[in-house]
Amino acid sequence: MVSFVLQNKKLFDGIELVGTGTTGGHIENAGFVITKLLSGPLGGDAQIAAMVAEGNLDAVIFFRDPLDKHPHEPDVQMLMRLCDVHNVPLATNPATAQYLLEGMVE
């Protein structure tokens, strides 16, 4: 995620970023301003899902490893479901995130 954000630094200019604790900390250390929530396994994914449900996010970029099981997988599935329910664009891989980001800033 940090690599993606760094590669697209200009596109992220002016976008308010929100992230889970660990990822958000890495992005913050890379020089970005970001609102950090709880770590994913401690409820950060659920916090992002709640923001989606409340209409507080325009899009979600949430990279996940499709070959690995996560202990907070139910929260990840809830986030994905709520993006669908509330018609919020969701990118789960860099290629989709690139299209989404470029489309948002044009």
Supply the CATH number for residue 25's domain: 3.40.50.1380
pLDDT in tens for each of the 106 residues of the chain? 999 999 999 999 999 999 999 999 999 999 999 999 999 889 999 999 999 999 999 999 999 888 887 777 888 899 999 999 999 999 999 999 999 999 998 7
State which residues form the domain around 32: 2-105
What CA–CA distances, in Å, run from 90 to 29, 31, 42, 96, 97?
24, 24, 21, 8, 8
On whether the CB atoms of residues 51 and 57 are closer than 8 A, the answer is: yes
What CA–CA distances, in Å, run from 86 to 16, 26, 57, 106?
20, 28, 10, 23
- How confident is the model at residue 71, as a pLDDT? 76
Residues belonging to the active site: 45
Domain count, the chain: 1
d(CA 75, CA 14): 28
pTM of structure: 0.92
Give Rg (Cα) of the chain. 13
Tell me which H or E stretch contains 60.
strand 60-61
